[in-house]
Homo-oligomer: A and B are copies of this chain.
Amino acid sequence: MAIIIDGKKLAAEIIKDLKKEREKIKESIKLGVVLVGDSASALSFIKRKKEVAKELAIDFRVYLYPSTIKSKDLRKEVSKICRIPEMKGVVVQLPLPEKINAPTVLNAVLEDKDPDCLSERNLAKFYNNRSIVKPPTVSAVDFLLKKYRVNLKNKNILIIGAGYLTGKPLAVYFLNQKISFTVLEKDYKNQEKILKNADIIFSGAGKPNLIKGKSLKKGVIIFDLSFNFYHKKIVGDCEKESVLKKASLYSPVPGGIGPLTVAFLYSNLLTLIKNKEA
């Protein structure tokens, strides 16, 4: 019987703790969210973030720009938002339109106002294992691994898809911990064998029904990190019913890593504020 991770419930517990942390901070806190265009996934991510902001008495401000905006102008806007009084954090909601130079826009977020850990200053510190905050997905995974006492040593660890917000930072997290792992990209021919041998899978492929129960080892642990719109529903990479027959622990989509990622975004925000006060 698979244990299904209840990310919403766990996130609620984390947010409860964050509330206490929030109360200790006497200042008012603004969080700016930069949204370009109207991608469905971006809008969906923002909704949940807004709810949590309210719980934490954080003034959540959305700054909306048309998808025709130029990288240079967006960069300037982000810089301006960072300098608004009481603005303690700025989130540039991804994905950005393809023609936008995302790294240069993300670099406009000041290092100490970057709870997503996506500016290159923070990314490099994370790469060098010396950052104050980690990318929220990594924090969420790290939390779940500890919560469920998942031992990573001597396990066949598999990352499917080295995406910018999922597999890639997770690979860095394993590199920094000197943990053995495999990264699987979609065009690799030995997929089936590698899947079948995996003890712990982190999937960020972005491909509905990619992972089916029959391809898996009995007792496998699966963290689904993807977020796909499929037939008007949000799904991950796993075919849920069949995967549940094989997995011993399973983080589903929706309701798994997603809510935790939002919780850790706010955890990062409070960490950055406290770090500045110290």
What is A's interface to B at a CB cutoff of 8 Å?
103, 120-121, 123-125, 127-128, 130, 153-154, 156, 162, 167-168, 171-172, 174-175, 178-185, 187-190
Contacts and interface: CB of A to CB of B under 8 A. Distances in A.
B185 A182 contact: no
28 contacts: A103-B128, A103-B130, A120-B120, A120-B121, A120-B124, A120-B128, A121-B121, A121-B124, A123-B127, A123-B128, A124-B124, A124-B127, A153-B188, A154-B187, A154-B189, A154-B190, A162-B175, A168-B175, A172-B172, A174-B183, A178-B187, A179-B185, A180-B182, A180-B184, A180-B185, A180-B188, A181-B182, A182-B182
Contacts of A178: 162, 185, 187
Contacts of A175: 162, 167-168, 171, 183
In the assembly, how many copies of this chain are there?
Answer: 2
Nearest to A154: B189
A168 to B, nearest CB: 5
A156 B190 contact: yes
A154 B188 contact: yes
Contacts of A174: 183
The 5 closest A-B pairs by CB, nearest first: A120-B124, A124-B124, A180-B188, A182-B182, A154-B189
Contacts of A127: 120, 123-124, 127
Given A120-B121, A167-B175, 4 more contacts: A103-B130, A121-B121, A180-B184, A182-B183
A185 B171 CA distance: 13
A185 B190 CA distance: 22
A255 B275 CA distance: 48
